[in-house]
Amino acid sequence: MSRVRQRRGSGSAARCRRVLALVGVVLGLAGCASIPEHTPPQPVAKDGPKTPTSVAAAEPDKNLDPLNLVRNFVQAAANPADDFAEAKPYLTKQARADWDTNSSVTILDNTFRTVYSTGPDEPVDGGRTRTVLLQGKNVGRLDSDYAFVPQFGDVEVPITVERQDDDQWRIVKPPAGVYLTLTGFSTGYKPVRLYFFDPERSVLVPDLRYVIGSPAPGVPGRVIDLLLDGPADGLHSALASALGPNTTTNTQVTESTDGALVVDLKQTGDLTPQTRDQIVAQIVRSLENVTSSRIRVEVDREALFPEHPDWRASDLKSYEPSAAVDVEQHGLVVANGQVRSLKDGAQVNGPAGSGQYAVRGATQSPDGSLLAVVAGTERGPRLRVGKMDQPLAEVNLTATTDITRPTWRPVNSSNNPSNELWAVADGNNVVQVVNNANDGSWVAKPINASELTQYGLISDLRLSRDGTRVAAVVGGKLVVGAVQRNQDSSVTIRQAKKLQSDALSSVLSVDWLSQETVVVGTASSSVPVARVSVDGFQMERYNTSNLTVPVRSITAASGHSVIAVDGRGLWTATEIGEVWRQNPVNPGPNSVVSYPG
């Protein structure tokens, strides 16, 4: 059982601790010069600290009709501080006690409506009780681990209101959970990146979350609380943490008298030097975007590294993916059955470049030394692998219609050669192709990708360059999942989710721009190329100038320009708003491009 499951399943204590921290109970850092460096934990009520300066939430405007009452209630839910205190005046006293704000947070499109129910028991006018229907488009939900989960479709929620003795309408039956708008969510919650490790603990991987943003000085404490709870549900099988399952904090995250932000852990068991490095890396990287202070990491009130008590991100050992594409690796383009370099358009050496294999798609290994191609044969497409400039061995993978362009598992050490790649045969047979150390052959093994294929046939698939996620085009939709590597060496795709399904309905190609962002090419004239966050919350459209649809092939990598292929050739852009310019290497329309990896 994973550490996250142990912590979350251990009882109400862990859940209460998480809720208390995330509702904004961390004491403000303003005026912290008088706070001692070490303070004992303080019990705090669920609704946050009560101080003489607390201001009661304003009452609703007088004489609101039921429709506007519910509309204003939804808008007030944009502030989650003090357990949604600003929204509660719209409810009766009993309804405030009944409203379960911890069960779920549903995010609606900004164009939501409130209308009266037309059921047989609803009076056309008059009456002391009415049912208002909250209607809108579902954008997603905030999960219990504060990760965004995309959702789609229409929402209709009945909300009962009643006229009170003072002739004012109030909600007597609120919805289950919280409903707010996309704008309200962006206002009330702050996006943060938690950092965990890949299974080998060699690469830090971002895990996107959304914490309550007010009061702002409490954000670091909320981040640490989530970090201790482990990876999000959608990633718990793919990531690891150096922070043990029983790790807690001795005190709240506070600012010391000399201006450092103190994270004092309570840790059981011995800590190796490597584990200490990793703990500091996780904490400092997770806090770097929410505070400008130095981070002081302690265990039981003693500095984790006495000779180096305070840390900034620049002090850390690098845990960046070693498989990130080097600027010297220019990538490949396949056209007319030949593999060419994206550097100058020259054919690569060997049979792959000469056209002997009638290549349909090709990708280099992360270090550029190996090549995997999809070759056309009379028997159907076949996968071949080998050194860049030499004959390539055929893999034991049969296909009738198609094999996707290969994608390589990253290498976590520069001293190790690439030894695994993935491909998809006939849209539903996902395989890992591994190198046999005994004879150097490449052997295909099945991957359990049922969570991907439930959405349709797979036409493109790319491993992230940290190896922990997969992005795929499935049934014309963008789907992202976690890579779970099992103890028996088998691999399973978990928590596969469609991203931006309404906006991206005709996706043709995908690649990883960074650890937390993918780029897609589509058949849509309004969104030919888009950049999407790995959780699906954000989508940004690239400039449409010069592009024609469909954009059948796309490739991207951190530090490299995005290259898109349409019916006229290869186009390049670096920024979202940049006009696409023709790539100097342009072997013709409908080519297939790829950076290494």
Number of domains in the chain: 3
Residue with tokens 């601790």: 17
Output the pLDDT for position 415: 56
d(CA 127, CA 29): 50
Output the pLDDT for position 126: 59
Domain boundary among 187, 206, 241: 187
Provide the CA 62 distance to its chain's centre, in angstroms. Answer: 43
- Residues 167 and 209: beta-carbon distance below 8 Å: no
- 499 with 533, same domain: the answer is yes
114 strand-pairing partners: 134
- On the question of a cis peptide bond just before residue 215, with omega within 30 degrees of 0, the verdict is yes
Q: Kindly state whether residue 276 falls inside one of the protein's structural domains.
A: yes
- 395 with 379, same domain: the answer is yes
Output the pLDDT for position 267: 76
Q: How many helices (H) and strands (E) does the chain have?
A: 10, 38
Output the pLDDT for position 416: 67
Find the domain containing 140 and state its range. Answer: 66-187
Q: Kindly state whether residue 21 falls inside one of the protein's structural domains.
A: yes
- 438 with 510, same domain: the answer is yes
- 392 with 492, same domain: the answer is yes
Q: Kindly state whether residue 60 falls inside one of the protein's structural domains.
A: no
Mean pLDDT (10-residue bins), the chain, 597 residues: 36 40 36 34 32 61 96 97 96 96 93 87 69 97 95 96 96 96 96 96 96 94 97 94 92 92 86 94 97 95 94 93 62 96 95 97 93 96 96 96 96 72 98 91 96 98 96 98 94 97 95 97 97 97 96 95 96 96 92 95
Residue environment code for 4-14, b if the CB has 16+ CB neighbours within 10 A, otherwise e:
beebbeeeeeb
- Residues 444 and 432: beta-carbon distance below 8 Å: yes
What 3-state DSSP class applies to 76?
A: helix
Domain boundary among 287, 315, 343: 315
Q: Token digits for 129?
A: 């009780």
Output the pLDDT for position 321: 81
Q: Token digits for 39?
A: 């303070």
Task: Please report, as a single letter, which amino acid is at residue 151.
Answer: Q
Q: Kindly state whether residue 438 falls inside one of the protein's structural domains.
A: yes
- 204 with 165, same domain: the answer is no
Residue with tokens 């704000």: 101
Residue ranges in 368-471 assigned as alpha helix (H): 450-453
User: Distance between the two ends of the chain, CA-based, in angstroms?
Assistant: 31
Which contiguous run of DSSP H or E holds residue 299?
Answer: strand 295-299
What 3-state DSSP class applies to 210?
A: strand
Output the pLDDT for position 137: 97
Domain boundary among 315, 343, 372: 315
